[in-house]
Amino acid sequence: MTDRSDDRGRRPEVDAEPSSATMDYIFESGSLRLSGHLAEPSEPVPEVNGLVVCHGFPTRGRESPQSGKSFPELAERIAAELGWVVLTMNFRGCGRAEGQFSLSGWLDDVHAAVAHVESLGVDGTWLAGFGTGGSLALCEAARNPSVCGVAALAAPGDFDDWARHPRRLLLHARQVGVVTDPDFPPALDKWAAELKSVRPIESARRLSDRPLLVVHGDGDDLTPLSDAQAIAAAHGDAELRVINGAGHELRHDPRAIAVLLGWLGRQQAEASVAAG
């Protein structure tokens, strides 16, 4: 289905002041402490859905410290308008999160975020991701049947280009600050092999029994529109929305955010009807 649109963690002990506009929430992924932001509805609601929102890979000019800084605002909006519990997260190596970037590590971080939201007592957990975060949301849902559905925005269909040039990727990762340890990775070949093992298109195929929203800009110069089309086709019943003239940064396109909120609202309504 294609449519072309115009339109319980911990607060940090010392080094940040809690604010609804910052990634001030701490939860764990294995032995690592990750930073995030938890938004909750201001009024009690009968059934509460949970949502994990995943950011993309940092770029030059928007390096690791800036990762996900606008996402708390989105989380608060979803909590206020839809009554969801929303956790935005910084992947390891990004923002204030500990650790170094690896693709399998980032996938483990999504899993930890889902488990954390589930521990808060929500009735169902969903995933939404932008760029690389959207691809990993697909992969986590494919291996985790407790995830109710996925929204993938500007998501790559594979990481084959990274896998063909792992040294170039590692250099970029150091430049944007997601790899800061000079001795990481301990084995480049193993680190690079992970890039081939994460398969978003195949994951979309395994998600055919759950709802999938795919949003992409037809002006995206980083991830081609064909990736979104391949993801939607693999799923078989995805809602594919193409934003005219939009680039890769869909977090900052109000039309894409309106599509996301509308889709989440419909999923919430359909789940309520199904529950009787």
Instruction: For each of the domains in the chain, give its residue range(s) and CATH number, in order of start.
Output: 2-267 (3.40.50.1820)
**How far apart (Å, rounded) are the C-alpha atoms in residues 225 and 6?**
16
What the block records as the tokens of 27 is: 């939860």
> What per-residue confidence (pLDDT) applies to 95?
92
pLDDT in tens, the chain (276 residues): 445 444 445 433 323 333 445 888 999 999 999 999 999 998 877 789 999 999 999 988 788 888 888 999 999 999 999 999 999 999 999 999 999 999 999 999 999 999 999 999 999 999 999 999 999 999 999 999 999 999 999 999 999 999 999 999 999 999 999 999 999 999 999 999 999 999 999 999 999 999 999 999 999 999 999 999 999 999 999 999 999 999 999 999 999 999 999 999 999 998 777 766
Identity (one letter) of the amino acid at 69? K
What are the pLDDT digits (tens) for 51-89? Answer: 999 999 998 878 888 888 899 999 999 999 999 999 999
> What per-residue confidence (pLDDT) applies to 276?
60
> What per-residue confidence (pLDDT) applies to 243?
98
| Alpha-carbon dihedral 149, 152, 157, 161, rounded to 10 degrees | -130
| CA pseudo-torsion sign 57, 61, 63, 66 | negative
> What per-residue confidence (pLDDT) applies to 13?
31
What the block records as the tokens of 248 is: 């890769």
> What per-residue confidence (pLDDT) applies to 251?
95
**How far apart (Å, rounded) are the C-alpha atoms in residues 53 and 228?**
18
> What per-residue confidence (pLDDT) applies to 193?
96
- Per the document, the length of the chain is 276
> What per-residue confidence (pLDDT) applies to 14?
29
**How far apart (Å, rounded) are the C-alpha atoms in residues 260 and 215?**
8
**How far apart (Å, rounded) are the C-alpha atoms in residues 33 and 30?**
8
Rg (CA), the chain: 18
**Cβ–Cβ < 8 Å for 147, 141:** yes
